[in-house]
């Protein structure tokens, strides 16, 4: 006999009341067993645009069929406020994916909004063949936040453009051609960057990636080697190892794989190595401590440059440092950034050294919209808000709290294989069981994902098998928001356990 939803909700409620949420910070439950949202004093405007069905019709017939939507019934978002978004029915959601790790300081942050509005009334656009104050003010402000000799700024419109530009710079400066990336790395979908984006879902059946090579990703959870002390994270993997203190066997073995790639797949000289400090689309994958440092040394021995892709990890998101590469104690030659740089405004950037910039100036480079007055103004306001609102510190404090709460769920649920990350760059890898580490099937992932959405929490997905929930919220979230998000996720896990047991 098929049980009713009401009956299932009642049983779940009784499970929670009997101690199901013990050991995990949680919020009060409503009568149907759903965690209650934290209060929010923001009132969204009434939705008055296209009817929902008309929006779906336009999406189907007039927009690219390559565009995907989340959830069985796609959400029609209408308005945003800090860590919250509202749909066309006025329903509120805690946004734990931040527009794919893009909303850094909060949806429609009042200071950023005010700065953009003022600039809109002053000067929308002029290309950089003319001087205008915002780009020069922003260049000075942004480059002051980068260490060493990283002082020359190029402004673009996206992360793909930024990485595309960085790869071209490396080839021109070194006079070499071959570029090394990591498997499951994501750096964009332009023809150049597709070569170093090592996820087949983004690759079309056409020639791309000439001279690009992918070496083994040093994933200490799912990879061949790893242990319980490898990562720079408040939460370590459950995987055990026999490494002695201060010695990481996994790091050395993954470095040997990079050496093998260099010995078998490339000429003696290479142009560049590109890596995210923590992989984003790949599923918040973290490398063993010391891996990037030794990788950089190997690349430089072969005449190559080292590129840090900070599109998702930059601007304080990792908490302990402003830039993700700083957590690895390395100094890149080129840094690329986008997404959180503009809090959702389309912009990206490349920062490099004067020496590399000089080589690149041998040919003319121009970007019509890169560094336009509005983008520069927005970028500058974002930097001000990060400092004034203490958001880097918030990432460290709230992010560590978030990871520790999720760790408790990992220890209680067989299907939660790994919790990893740093600051508010978090991944939850789901498995069939902790012994085999087989990825949780897509249909089961989707059921948990849909349940979270139904209870008011939006999560992303990533990983080679889409087996990892991506948790990368606006950097303004609070511990109270975390308690709600964790309680919702646990409730969804418990519902999954109940479904699987019947």
- Mean pLDDT (whole number) for 236-248: 84
423: alpha, beta or left? (left if phi > 0; alpha if psi -120 to 50): left
- pLDDT at residue 301 tops 50: yes
Could you tell me the pLDDT band of residue 57, with boundaries at 50, 70 and 90? Answer: very high
Residue 421, beta-bridge partner list: 426
pLDDT tens digits, residue range 178-221?
A: 999 999 999 999 988 999 999 999 988 888 889 999 999 999 99
C-alpha 410 chain-centroid distance:
21
pLDDT tens digits, residue range 447-467?
A: 999 999 999 999 999 999 999
**H or E segment and range at residue 429:** strand 425-430
Could you tell me the pLDDT band of residue 12, with boundaries at 50, 70 and 90? Answer: very low
Rounded distance, CA 48 to CA 97, Å? 26
**H or E segment and range at residue 78:** strand 77-81
- Mean pLDDT (whole number) for 65-71: 92
Q: Which of 239-253, 291-305, 340-354, 364-378 has the lowest mean pLDDT?
A: 239-253
DSSP 288: P
Residues 6+ apart with CB under 8 A from 466: 442, 445
424, 461 contact by CB (below 8 A): no
152, 352 contact by CB (below 8 A): yes
Percentages helix, strand, coil for the chain, rounded to the nearest 5? 40, 15, 50
CB atoms within 10 A of CB 7: 10
Residues 6+ apart with CB under 8 A from 12: 33, 491, 494, 495, 498
Residues 6+ apart with CB under 8 A from 270: 174, 176, 178, 179, 180, 262, 299, 302, 303, 304
Could you tell me the pLDDT band of residue 13, with boundaries at 50, 70 and 90? Answer: very low
State the number of CA atoms in the 13 A half-sphere of 473 facing the CB: 28
Token pair of 139, please? 């260049």
Rg of the Cα trace of the chain?
A: 23
Of residues 8 and 483, more confidence is placed in: 483
What pLDDT was estimated at residue 30? 64
The candidate with the shortest Cα–Cα distance to 105, out of 400, 454, 389, 495, is 389
Contacts made by residues 70-77, CB under 8 angstroms, sequence distance 24+? 70/453, 70/458, 71/449, 71/450, 71/453, 72/450, 75/453, 75/458, 76/52
- The domain over range 112-388 is classified in CATH as 3.30.70.920: no
pLDDT tens digits, residue range 395-423?
A: 999 999 999 999 999 999 999 999 999 99
Residue 350, beta-bridge partner list: 154, 336
Residue 253 has phi, psi (to 5 degrees) of: -70, -35
- Mean pLDDT (whole number) for 259-277: 98
472-489 as b/e, with b when 16 or more CB fall inside 10 Å? bbbbbbeeebbbbbbbbb
**H or E segment and range at residue 53:** helix 52-62
358: alpha, beta or left? (left if phi > 0; alpha if psi -120 to 50): alpha
Indicate the pairing of strand 272-275 with strand 179-182.
parallel
Could you tell me the pLDDT band of residue 28, with boundaries at 50, 70 and 90? Answer: low
What pLDDT was estimated at residue 31? 57
- Mean pLDDT (whole number) for 75-82: 97
What pLDDT was estimated at residue 316? 98
Rounded distance, CA 142 to CA 112, Å? 16
CA distances (Å), 123 to each of 116, 117, 140, 372, 373, in order? 10, 10, 20, 9, 7
pLDDT tens digits, residue range 276-293?
A: 999 999 999 999 999 999
- Mean pLDDT (whole number) for 18-24: 49
Residue-level length of the chain: 502
**H or E segment and range at residue 37:** none
Annotated domain spans of the chain: 112-388
Could you tell me the pLDDT band of residue 19, with boundaries at 50, 70 and 90? Answer: very low
Token pair of 22, please? 């013990």
Q: Which of 28-42, 110-124, 258-272 has the lowest mean pLDDT?
A: 28-42
CB atoms within 10 A of CB 319: 24
CA angle 322, 324, 330 (to 5 degrees): 105
**DSSP 3-state assignment of 282?**
coil
Could you tell me the pLDDT band of residue 7, with boundaries at 50, 70 and 90? Answer: very low
122-132 as b/e, with b when 16 or more CB fall inside 10 Å? eeeeeebeeeb
E strands, 219-288, in order:
272-275
Rounded distance, CA 308 to CA 325, Å? 7
What pLDDT was estimated at residue 247? 80
Rounded-to-10 torsion of CA 442, 445, 450, 452: -160
- pLDDT at residue 346 tops 90: yes
CA distances (Å), 30 to each of 20, 91, 111, in order? 15, 16, 35
Q: Is the dihedral of CA 172, 174, 177, 182 positive or negative?
A: negative
């Amino acid at each position: 006999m098929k049980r009713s939803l009401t009956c299932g909700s009642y049983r779940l409620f009784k499970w929670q009341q009997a101690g199901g949420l013990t050991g995990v910070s949680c919020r009060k439950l409503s009568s149907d067993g759903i965690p209650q949202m934290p209060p929010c004093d923001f009132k969204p405007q009434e939705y008055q645009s296209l009817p929902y069905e008309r929006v779906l019709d336009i999406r189907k017939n007039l927009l690219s069929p390559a565009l995907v939507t989340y959830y069985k019934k796609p959400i029609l978002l209408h308005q945003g406020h800090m860590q919250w978004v509202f749909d066309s029915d006025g329903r509120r959601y805690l946004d734990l994916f931040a527009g794919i790790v893009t909303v850094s300081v909060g949806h429609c942050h009042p200071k950023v909004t005010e700065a953009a509005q003022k600039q809109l009334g002053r000067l929308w656009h002029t290309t950089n063949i003319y001087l205008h104050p915002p780009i020069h003010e922003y260049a000075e402000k942004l480059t002051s936040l980068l260490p060493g000799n990283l002082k020359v700024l190029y402004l673009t419109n996206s992360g793909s453009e930024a990485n595309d530009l960085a790869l071209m710079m490396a080839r021109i400066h070194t006079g070499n051609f071959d570029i090394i990336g990591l498997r499951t790395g994501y750096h964009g979908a332009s023809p150049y960057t597709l070569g170093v984006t090592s996820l087949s879902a983004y690759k079309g059946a056409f020639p791309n990636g000439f001279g690009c090579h992918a070496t083994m990703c040093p994933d200490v959870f799912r990879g061949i080697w790893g242990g319980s002390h490898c990562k720079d994270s408040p939460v370590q993997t459950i995987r055990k190892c026999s490494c002695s203190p201060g010695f990481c066997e996994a790091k050395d073995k993954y470095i040997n794989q990079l050496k093998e790639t260099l010995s078998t797949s490339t000429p003696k000289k290479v142009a560049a190595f590109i890596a995210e400090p923590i992989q984003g689309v790949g599923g918040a994958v973290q490398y063993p401590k010391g891996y990037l440092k030794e990788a950089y040394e190997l690349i430089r021995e072969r005449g190559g440059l080292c590129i840090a892709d900070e599109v998702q990890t930059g601007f304080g998101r990792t908490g302990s440092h402003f830039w993700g590469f700083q957590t690895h104690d390395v100094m890149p030659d080129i840094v690329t950034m986008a997404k959180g740089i503009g809090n959702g405004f389309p912009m990206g950037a490349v920062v490099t050294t004067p020496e590399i910039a000089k080589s690149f100036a041998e040919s003319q480079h121009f970007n019509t919209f890169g560094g336009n007055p509005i983008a520069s103004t927005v970028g500058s306001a974002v930097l001000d808000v990060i400092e004034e609102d203490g958001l880097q510190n918030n990432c460290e404090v709230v992010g560590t709290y978030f990871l520790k709460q999720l760790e408790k769920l990992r220890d209680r649920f067989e299907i939660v294989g790994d919790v990893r990350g740093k600051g508010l760059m978090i991944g939850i890898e789901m498995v069939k069981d902790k012994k085999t580490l087989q990825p949780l099937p897509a249909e089961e992932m989707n059921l948990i994902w849909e349940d979270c959405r139904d209870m008011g929490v939006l999560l992303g997905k990533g990983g080679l098998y889409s087996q990892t929930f991506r948790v990368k919220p606006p950097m303004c979230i609070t511990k109270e928001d975390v308690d709600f998000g964790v309680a919702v996720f646990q409730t969804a896990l418990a519902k999954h356990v109940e479904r699987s047991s019947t």
